[in-house]
Structure 1
Amino acid sequence: MADAAELPPLDGGLLEKPIQGSPPRQDDTEDEDPRLDTVDAYVTKAEYDMAARTAEALLRDGIRDVRIIGPYLMGSFVNQGLKGMPRIFRSVITTLKESLGAFGPEEKKTLLANTSVRWLFKGVNRQMLHHEKLKDAEWKRWREPSNRAPVEEALSLGASALAACTEALPGGDCEQALRPVLAWLQEQLSALPVTGTSVPVKKEEAPAAAAPESEEPLEDEEAEEPETDSEPRPSPRAHASSPGLPISPAMELLLRKLHAFDVLVEQEDFLKAGIVAADVLGVIERFDPRVYLPMLFTRFFAGLSTHAETLEPLLHNTESLAFRSLDQLYRVDLDSFLEQHTREEE
């Protein structure tokens, strides 16, 4: 394997811009560059920086293989932590939507690409949970105010990354591997201090009509300025439609699009309105509440995972009379269902 001294430091940005051209020709497995096996060897030993640097050398030499996408982008997370997440998401979006045709191997490309990207997101999620559990030095670096802007940017790219996975890798499960990463980032955003403060600002302490934390401190002053026709902006009410429930970047963007549609219709700019309408209809068709309202489900999934061992046997015994009768009561009268459950407990 290559020595660290033989490889330059990781750049990490080679996949952010579209790559054109035909995939590299490969007549049989004997023609494969041996460095592909080197990448695998580094990954096996969890030497992710060296795996990424080796993958970058392959990309610079025109060896475009979908199997190195995951190891290459993992290097950005290992080296930059949360600050590397926007680059990772931009690279995944660009690669899957614009550059995939320039990658090989042609045989089983979709399957191999799905495996590589899925490995990336699962690996990132494992690292996140690992350092969060340890509360180690890496975790402390992640909690610094300077991480807030990158996390917000990453979350703003989340919906596009999910769409890229779904459209480019149909039938794969890289989308499912990405969702826990987005949920973790969304949860951490509320705990990250605003730049210039030393403690996190709790959203529930802010007035109901206050702007979301993700906005800059001067946003309220800017909102008082008259809006121009060329730049339709959402009304402040759109951001505070559900007091107490933080709005995710994906939901905030959707609200902006809905407001933009209203403005364009009023201006009778129907060509632009049609473009917005087509996009919003697409969002509605594949609407996932876990992406647009992640905080709504945080307690549910946390409770489900905490008590999984107790709940799982019950979920496999749904044909029992006790389960079916309570299920019917639950469907017709939630209050009576809760009261019945309370009396049983007593």
Structure 2
Amino acid sequence: MLDRALITLPLTGARPIDSYDPRFAELADAVLRGRYIAAAEGAARLLGERFYDVRLLSYFLYGVVVEQGVGGLTWTLSVVRALADAGWQGLGPVQSQQKHIKASVRWLFDAMSRRLLHLDDDPQGRARFMEEWDDTSRAALIDAGEALAVQLDGLGDLNLAARKLVSALRTLAVAPPPPLVEPTPPPAPPTVEEEGEDEEPAAEEDAEEGYDDDDDDAYDEPADDSDDSFDEGSDHSFDEDAEEESDPSSEAPKRPAPPARADRPRLTAPPLAAAPAWGELLERLTLFEQLVEDGATTQAAVVADDIEDRLNHFDPRRYFPALFAGYYAALAENMSEIEEAWEDRESARWRVLRQLYQLDPERFRRAR
């Protein structure tokens, strides 16, 4: 286990370490690969030799958070606050000290925020975290985060990163831990729901009743509007009296009644529920900025090459699978009819509908 006793404040007797030391490259590579505990252990060995460099410290502190959960996060915030109180005294590197401090502490805050928002990606880590995540620890951590954000007020990116961390703490504070035994789910389509499952029914009710209270409703409105027009077309396109008087033999075969709202596939997903690959990309972007600021051009070039490769082959379905789950569920359910319609893509009707779709999506939706 990582030893917190390595960091004894105030920091005294610091030794300088060369930014081009190959041990830095090893730690950066471990972080790049998501091996945060290994990076923290390597940083701990150097800190034990009194190389009190803020870059090493940030790797060590984040490793403590990953390994030790709530207790590690509480201790880490207290260390950062104490260092800020002391004006970051005793921290290297001496050259461009403030620039390195801002970059490294910002990385630490961003990494902790992502960790909190994506705890579900690490079931064992989440279990350890939730063992201590009670009302007392919630309140204490949120208070500590807010105090740190106030303390860093005026430091631009650092203040913003601290407030993002507080936001992540608040988000986790209102999210109940997963039950030990999964309850029997209500009838619903087989869609991927990664986040915000408890809040979605209320959002759908709001959209049905015409409310527009928040941004989440804005995501749901297009799907609900489409559903409502579909209901209107199916429920009111035939008058009951007209059906009784009409000649059954002259009627075209009726389409099956549309499924009830609860049985239809969701056409929207929780807003930007990201896959772990998205977090990896963000970490690489942050690492690249750090390496550039450190003057580690060769390592930065390696990271930039990886980032460019990911961007050149960027597939949003890989990074945000939940966003497209509803679309593919609906497409699979109606594939026969849609495939038949696709065969008509060269027709005049298709071209006119496509023009209307591009010019006026709302009128396109109502077109029959």
If the length of structure 2 is used for normalisation, what is the TM-score? 0.44
* Structure number, greater radius of gyration: 2
If the length of structure 1 is used for normalisation, what is the TM-score? 0.47
